[in-house]
A and B are shown apart, each in its own frame.
Chain A
Amino acid sequence: MNMKRKKQIWTLPYGVWVVCALLFLAGCGSDSKVQESLSASQNPSTIKTDLVLAVGKMDGGQFDPKKGWGMTQIRLTHSSLLAIDSDLNFIGDLAKSYNISEDGLTWTFPLREEAKFSNGEQVSAEDVKFTYEMLKEDGIKFDLSFVKQIEVTEGNTVVIRLNEPRSTFVSQLTEIGIVPKAHYDDQYSQNPIGSGPYKVVQYDDGQQVILEYNPYWYGKEPQFKKLTFLLLAEDASLAAAKAGQADIVYVPPTFANQKVDGMTLRTYESIDSRGIMMPTVPSGGKGMTNGNEVNIGNDVTSDLAIRQALNIGLDRQKLLDVALDGHGKKAFCLCDNMPWFNEKTIVEDGDIQSAQKILAEGGWVDTNKDGVVEKNGRKAEFDMYFSSSDQLRSDLALAVADQAKEFGIKINTIGATWDEIYLKGKTAAVVWGGGRHHPHQLFSMNSSERMNNGIDNMSNYRNPKVDEYLKKALNATSQEEANKYWKLAQWDGTTGFSGKGDAPIVWLMRVDHLYLANEKLNLGKQPVHSHGHEWALFGNVTEWSWDK
């Protein structure tokens, strides 16, 4: 009797489960139908003036330059002194023009009279001065320590005087969004006021951002008056595209072969590079990351042979095929194909024999035949962190670990949040990223001066020769001279920070930025994209149109 009752009790939950599952599925189905009809009613057949976008989480910067807004692309909501056109030339934005003195120390910017913030107030030279001084004082997200003095002179003009010439300053001028002096405070993210083509009308962190056309915008009037950003994860974005709820979505390469009716895949070449950052100092020390004290150093990756073996042993094309389905290009430095790229850093990669030779010469031999090389009893085994919310980085991490095994290096991959990575990242390898339209990152990622600054120079790399080149490149008064030293810093024939030299970061690939966009949406002429797929698209947002 007891048994029989037992049986019944067991069968009951199964029935309940099945019913639950059915209810759940039914719920999903009806839900999406409602949503579809909603979005259909929102799209009238007249000229389309609003767009729904799902291009990422967009959690960087929160519209505040002090929080890092500008590390990628500011041009939706802010304007800056200068801008970059789609051929990477510097053109005036808030500044009508600019003038640099012979010695490179005095920069003069006459400002536009008609530029206004989204609240109707004029963008004045005082606002520019305020923004730059505020960021200089903060010193974390933008390094402006070389700025001596900022003056406001007659005729709405800003004059910036420098302590020393700075070849990358011109790029910073394109990245720093001007904020209003009268309205800027620590709560600026909640109600950002800028002078870009759009203003933020609603900002729900982690959910959605709604931008509307800023009627005071001084530039070309965009066709789309309202942009709704859905802050969705990558798979949810794809689902939104399939349900017809978004006009443009970012897709990671693993989803690139997905077909969605009415949408086409847009592929944009980028200098958005990915590589493996490795600590160059042995463990035991202390350092700073983003203002917090952290442990630094790793006893395996601090050995040069390990880093160089990875640079030459990893097969970049295979990594591209496995992790990116071929949607990318090989990379050997942070700046491939830019004017400051040193082509001598390109190596024949995927060369396992050479990798093994480098390891053997460095003292790493597999004595106990377990497939992992050792040196002085220490196994060539280390942890590698990657952002667990980033499909591409996690696939890349797995692919790298898989390949490294072939020449005897064991990499344990660990998915973590960025906060965790910043805390532990200086003790282990990290799947790192970067790539800008300017060479300043070459300095910030590799100069010993920047060792404890924000998330710069995570590998605690120090090479006096490289430091010297970087300094010279930074202080050059002409771009040609600067580029010469940028190239030497990468590889001067004997040393450098590229993979051939000290390899603090082994750069592996440039990632194509992929978007699924409505076939009628014309995204204009896109420049080579910089790091950050969320914002890179919007440099020319005022040129976008909806074709008939």
Chain B
Amino acid sequence: MQGVQEGLNVRKKMILLLAFSSGFLLVILFLSFWLSNDNLRLSSAKNLAPNLEHLFGTDWLGRDMFTRTIKGLRLSLALGAFTSLLSVIIATLMGVCAATFGRTVDAVISWLIDLFIGMPHLVFMVLICFIAGGGVYGIVLGISLTHWTALARLVRSEVLQIKNVEYIQISKSYGKSAWFIARKHILPFIFPQLMIGFLLMFPHVILHEAALTFLGFGLSPQTPAVGIILSEAMSHISTGKWWLVVFPGVLLVGVIKSFDSIGEKLRILMEPSSANE
């Protein structure tokens, strides 16, 4: 009995948290468009500690850190969304193909998945990013080509599971095309999985984006990106400018945690086994 009681509370709390997380992200997005690009210009107001005019202080070239951080996070979010989407598409294609096109294709794709999982994540990403010539293009490719594997496995097993259920067999016997079955019967079934997969991949991708830009792959130091901000700040820690690291770092963690909790909460709400709690 107690469990049910608590479950209701948790559900309310969960929705509250969800709203808070989404609100936080929306505020960042809104601010990133609202803040002027002029704050990114070099100025004589150098090395200021956080104050009312510059909430996060300024860096050694006089750029406003608040603007840089927020705009950097927007870039992270945009890159994250695009890259996650790409990964999900790859994962869906691979998963569905593996499950429907017979043994040989399945073996090949499973082998591919094993191959990608077997490689050290970051090294592989750096490699792809480097081959693609760096920049936003390299980062997107690098991350999306390495992050589809787990989801592809999930999709494959889901599709295998429902491939032989009755309504699909019936549909088949009515002469519906494979494309029709995939679109009308299989995709709707795996859509919740994809949705959750997408949301949970998001924070992961953002972290990797930050890692790649931190390591200096591609993006120009003019571009406000969290990874670049952090890596630049590294060389200024020894001079005691803590605000260059602390605020961007904390905000990055905040954004990631928000996404993570949104995804997690949605999963719990949508999954049949836990949705009734």
Q: Do these two chains interact?
A: yes
Residues of A in contact with B (beta carbons under 8 Å apart)? 1-4, 6, 233-236, 238-239, 242, 254-255, 258, 321-323, 388, 391, 394-395, 397-399, 401-402, 412-415
A398-B42, A402-B41 known, 11 other contacts, Cβ within 8 Å: A3-B7, A3-B10, A235-B235, A236-B238, A238-B239, A323-B61, A395-B60, A397-B221, A398-B61, A413-B220, A413-B221
Taking CB atoms, residues of chain A closer than 8 Å to B60 are 254, 395
Establish whether residues A3 and B221, one from each chain, have CB atoms under 8 Å apart when the complex forms.
Answer: no
Establish whether residues A2 and B234, one from each chain, have CB atoms under 8 Å apart when the complex forms.
Answer: no
Q: Is B274 an interface residue (CB 8 A)?
A: yes
Pick the most buried of B6, B220, B268: most chain A CB atoms within 10 A of its CB: B220
Q: Which residue in B41, B61, B222, B277 is a CB contact (below 8 Å) of A2?
A: B277
Taking CB atoms, residues of chain A closer than 8 Å to B61 are 322-323, 395, 398-399
Establish whether residues A413 and B6, one from each chain, have CB atoms under 8 Å apart when the complex forms.
Answer: no
Q: Is B236 an interface residue (CB 8 A)?
A: yes
Q: Is B62 an interface residue (CB 8 A)?
A: yes
Instruction: Give per-residue flags for B217-257: 1 if the beta carbon is below 8 A from chain A beta carbons, else 0.
Output: 00011100000000000111111000000000000000000
Establish whether residues A3 and B239, one from each chain, have CB atoms under 8 Å apart when the complex forms.
Answer: no
B203 CB to nearest chain A CB (Å): 14
Q: Which residue in A2, A238, A413 is a CB contact (below 8 Å) of B238?
A: A238
Given contacts A322-B61, A398-B221, A414-B220, contact A255 B239 (CB under 8 A): yes
Establish whether residues A412 and B222, one from each chain, have CB atoms under 8 Å apart when the complex forms.
Answer: yes
A24 CB to nearest chain B CB (Å): 14
The tally of CB-CB contacts under 8 A between chains A and B is: 60
Q: Which residue in A242, A254, A402, A413 is a CB contact (below 8 Å) of B42?
A: A402
- CA of A167 to CA of B6 in the docked complex: distance in angstroms? 91
A376 CB to nearest chain B CB (Å): 26
- CA of A234 to CA of B221 in the docked complex: distance in angstroms? 18
Establish whether residues B235 and A321, one from each chain, have CB atoms under 8 Å apart when the complex forms.
Answer: no
Taking CB atoms, residues of chain B closer than 8 Å to A3 are 6-7, 10, 268, 277
Establish whether residues A242 and B277, one from each chain, have CB atoms under 8 Å apart when the complex forms.
Answer: no
- CA of A3 to CA of B62 in the docked complex: distance in angstroms? 47
Given contacts A1-B3, A322-B42, A399-B42, contact A394 B221 (CB under 8 A): yes
Taking CB atoms, residues of chain A closer than 8 Å to B44 are 321-322
| A-B contact list, 21 entries, CB within 8 Å | A2-B277, A3-B7, A3-B268, A3-B277, A4-B6, A234-B235, A235-B237, A254-B60, A254-B236, A322-B42, A322-B62, A391-B235, A394-B221, A395-B60, A395-B61, A398-B42, A401-B222, A402-B41, A412-B222, A415-B220, A415-B221
- CA of A322 to CA of B45 in the docked complex: distance in angstroms? 10
Taking CB atoms, residues of chain B closer than 8 Å to A236 are 238
- CA of A397 to CA of B220 in the docked complex: distance in angstroms? 11
Taking CB atoms, residues of chain A closer than 8 Å to B235 are 233-235, 391
A38 CB to nearest chain B CB (Å): 20
Q: Is B50 an interface residue (CB 8 A)?
A: no
Q: Which residue in B7, B216, B239, B268 is a CB contact (below 8 Å) of A258?
A: B239
- CA of A259 to CA of B264 in the docked complex: distance in angstroms? 49
Taking CB atoms, residues of chain A closer than 8 Å to B42 are 322, 398-399, 402
Taking CB as reference atom, which chain B residue is nearest A1?
B3
Taking CB atoms, residues of chain A closer than 8 Å to B221 are 394, 397-398, 413, 415
Pick the most buried of B216, B236, B238: most chain A CB atoms within 10 A of its CB: B238
Taking CB atoms, residues of chain A closer than 8 Å to B222 are 398, 401, 412-413
- CA of A412 to CA of B7 in the docked complex: distance in angstroms? 54
Taking CB atoms, residues of chain A closer than 8 Å to B216 are 388, 415
* A contact patch SS: helix
The 5 closest A-B pairs by CB, nearest first: A235-B235, A239-B238, A235-B238, A3-B10, A402-B42
Taking CB atoms, residues of chain B closer than 8 Å to A412 are 220, 222
Instruction: Give per-residue flags for B5-24: 1 if the beta carbon is below 8 A from chain A beta carbons, else 0.
Output: 01100100000000000000
- CA of A395 to CA of B235 in the docked complex: distance in angstroms? 13
B243 CB to nearest chain A CB (Å): 16
Taking CB atoms, residues of chain B closer than 8 Å to A398 are 42, 61, 221-222
A301 CB to nearest chain B CB (Å): 17
- CA of A528 to CA of B236 in the docked complex: distance in angstroms? 29
- CA of A258 to CA of B240 in the docked complex: distance in angstroms? 10
Q: Which of B35-79 contact A (CB under 8 A)?
A: 41-42, 44, 60-62
Taking CB atoms, residues of chain B closer than 8 Å to A2 are 268, 274, 277
- CA of A1 to CA of B62 in the docked complex: distance in angstroms? 52
B134 CB to nearest chain A CB (Å): 8
B271 CB to nearest chain A CB (Å): 10
B223 CB to nearest chain A CB (Å): 9
Taking CB atoms, residues of chain A closer than 8 Å to B220 are 412-415
Taking CB as reference atom, which chain B residue is nearest A242?
B238
- CA of A394 to CA of B60 in the docked complex: distance in angstroms? 12
Taking CB atoms, residues of chain B closer than 8 Å to A6 are 264, 268
Taking CB atoms, residues of chain B closer than 8 Å to A4 are 6
A425 CB to nearest chain B CB (Å): 15
Taking CB as reference atom, which chain A residue is nearest B134?
A414
Taking CB as reference atom, which chain A residue is nearest B63?
A398
- CA of A397 to CA of B222 in the docked complex: distance in angstroms? 9
- CA of A252 to CA of B237 in the docked complex: distance in angstroms? 14
Instruction: Give per-residue flags for B153-167: 1 if the beta carbon is below 8 A from chain A beta carbons, else 0.
Output: 000000000000000
A369 CB to nearest chain B CB (Å): 16
Taking CB as reference atom, which chain B residue is nearest A397?
B221
Taking CB atoms, residues of chain B closer than 8 Å to A323 are 61
- CA of A492 to CA of B216 in the docked complex: distance in angstroms? 44
Taking CB atoms, residues of chain A closer than 8 Å to B6 are 3-4
Taking CB atoms, residues of chain A closer than 8 Å to B277 are 2-3
Establish whether residues B7 and A235, one from each chain, have CB atoms under 8 Å apart when the complex forms.
Answer: no
Taking CB atoms, residues of chain A closer than 8 Å to B239 are 235, 238, 254-255, 258
Taking CB as reference atom, which chain B residue is nearest A383?
B220
- CA of A412 to CA of B220 in the docked complex: distance in angstroms? 7
Taking CB atoms, residues of chain B closer than 8 Å to A413 are 220-222
B178 CB to nearest chain A CB (Å): 38
- CA of A388 to CA of B221 in the docked complex: distance in angstroms? 10
- CA of A413 to CA of B274 in the docked complex: distance in angstroms? 51
- CA of A401 to CA of B221 in the docked complex: distance in angstroms? 11
Taking CB atoms, residues of chain B closer than 8 Å to A1 are 3
Taking CB atoms, residues of chain A closer than 8 Å to B7 are 3
Instruction: Give per-residue flags for B254-277: 1 if the beta carbon is below 8 A from chain A beta carbons, else 0.
Output: 000000000010001000001001
Taking CB atoms, residues of chain A closer than 8 Å to B274 are 2
- CA of A415 to CA of B223 in the docked complex: distance in angstroms? 12
Pick the most buried of A3, A239, A388: most chain B CB atoms within 10 A of its CB: A3
A533 CB to nearest chain B CB (Å): 16
Given contacts A3-B277, A255-B239, A322-B61, contact A235 B41 (CB under 8 A): no
Taking CB atoms, residues of chain B closer than 8 Å to A391 are 235
A232 CB to nearest chain B CB (Å): 11
Taking CB as reference atom, which chain A residue is nearest B228?
A415
- CA of A322 to CA of B235 in the docked complex: distance in angstroms? 17
- CA of A380 to CA of B89 in the docked complex: distance in angstroms? 37
Taking CB as reference atom, which chain A residue is nearest B274?
A2
Pick the most buried of A2, A258, A395, A412: most chain B CB atoms within 10 A of its CB: A2
- CA of A506 to CA of B60 in the docked complex: distance in angstroms? 25
- CA of A4 to CA of B3 in the docked complex: distance in angstroms? 10
- CA of A239 to CA of B239 in the docked complex: distance in angstroms? 8
- CA of A87 to CA of B42 in the docked complex: distance in angstroms? 39
- CA of A322 to CA of B10 in the docked complex: distance in angstroms? 54
- CA of A322 to CA of B61 in the docked complex: distance in angstroms? 6
Taking CB atoms, residues of chain A closer than 8 Å to B264 are 6
A295 CB to nearest chain B CB (Å): 13
